[in-house]
Structure formats: C-alpha cells, structure tokens
Amino acid sequence: QVRLTESGGGLVQAGGSLRLACLASERTDSNYAMGWFRQALGKEREFVARITWSGGNTDYADSVKGRFAISRDTAENTVYLQMNSLKPEDTAVYYCAAVARWRLGVYSSPNWYDYWGQGTQVTVSS
C-alpha cells in the first residue's frame, strides 16, 4: 500500500513563500496523477492542484492559479508544491494525495484519490 509523507509546512508572513514536498513509499510513475488538497479549520477539504505522471500536465484551483506551482520528480518519487505570494486565507493543513489509475469522476474531488498523507500545517500570518 502506498504511503505518502508531506513536509515543508510552517509559519510564514503574508507575501512569503513555502515549498511543500510529498514523498511516496514506492514508485509513483505508475500512478495516473498526484494532487494537493487543503483543509482549513472548520471547513471542507479543498482541491489545490494536481499533476499527471505521464505528461506532467497540471491543473489548479482558481484561488491559487498564478501563485502556486505543482511539479514532480519521478526519480525521487516526490511531488512538490511551490507556494508564492501566500495569503492568510491559504492557512490550512495541506494534504498530498495519489490516484493509482484513471477513474470515473473529477480530479478536483477528494473521492477521486486512493491514497492520502497525514498532512502538513501551513500558517500565513498577516
């Protein structure tokens, strides 16, 4: 079973940057896609970004488009989320997710993914 471990979270001032990493316990090149979600206190889990392994195609939530960038390193079995121009509303626990293969549904839904990490806290101060 795939295990995902997030790192890179922390406290940052508004306008600053953080880089999150998600390390998979096994090769992820066989996965269809990996994504990032976030969940603020008292709110539902929200789609942030996703990337396909075969072509590196990316998709972003409108709220982070132009500020965040998702990337992958197939050799290291790692997916990154570069977060720039951070805002207080970006404060949340950020989760890494992976889907083993294409499936019916939408990639922005948490139900589309098979595996989840434990999350890493990102706090943006004003």
36-52 tens-digit pLDDT: 999 999 999 999 999 99
Per residue in 74-99, pLDDT (tens digit) is 888 899 999 999 999 999 999 999 99
Q: Quick check: 14 pLDDT over 90?
A: yes
Looking up tokens 């989320």, which residue turns up? 81
Q: In the prediction, which pLDDT does 30 show?
A: 64
pLDDT band for 101, please (50, 70, 90 cuts): confident
Please, what sign has the CA dihedral across residues 95, 20, 10, 4? Answer: positive
Amino acid letter for position 50: R
With 0-12 / 13-18 / 19 or more C-beta atoms within 10 angstroms meaning exposed / middle / buried, residue 87 is middle
Q: What percentage of residues in the chain have a pLDDT greater than 70? A: 97
pLDDT score of 6: 97
Residue 25 banded pLDDT, cuts 50, 70, 90: confident
Query: What is the average per-residue pLDDT within 51-77?
Result: 93
> What are the residues facing 47 on neighbouring strands?
37
Q: What is the pLDDT of residues 2-13, one digit of tens each?
A: 899 999 999 999
**Model pLDDT, residue 27:** 67
> What's the mean pLDDT in 19-37?
85
